[in-house]
Amino acid sequence: MSLRAKSGTEVKTPRAMNIFLDRIENLGLQIFITELDVDDYAILGSERQRDKRVAEVYSDYLKNVLSHRAVRAVLTWGIDDRHSWLRKSKHKPSRLDKKQKRPLLFSGNLKPKAAFHATCAAIRDR
């Protein structure tokens, strides 16, 4: 089963998600987390502060879903910020400060960001 993971910066309580994942797991199905990214349109602060908050969202979400053994894969919705759909979408709000969104694991010049390290740690600590 594929679970689409589009996230803003507010992490909802994991209780309902855990109940859902438990039910899927009890059916003997595998779970694939897909389209994972974090829309940082509402995070204020410097690039470093924004990246830190995005990494926290990745970490919190992944620690929760990876606690379920049925989760077999995590796929992001892109690799780097420059090519993110969130920068190009006419259906998502732009940042009020007009800065570029930074929703993925790598910067536009393919440098690993805090979100990359948070994701690696969540997978490693599983």
For residue 78, give the CATH number of its domain. Answer: 3.20.20.80
One-letter amino acid at 118 equals A
**pLDDT tens for the 126 residues of the chain, in order:** 667 775 665 556 678 888 989 999 999 999 999 999 999 988 999 999 999 999 999 999 999 999 999 999 999 999 999 999 998 888 888 888 989 999 999 999 999 999 999 999 999 998
**Structurally, how many domains does the chain consist of?**
1
How far is residue 82's CA from residue 101's CA, in Å, rounded to a whole number?
9
Which range of residues forms the domain containing residue 112? 2-124
How far is residue 102's CA from residue 106's CA, in Å, rounded to a whole number?
9
Q: Is the pTM of this model over 0.85?
A: yes
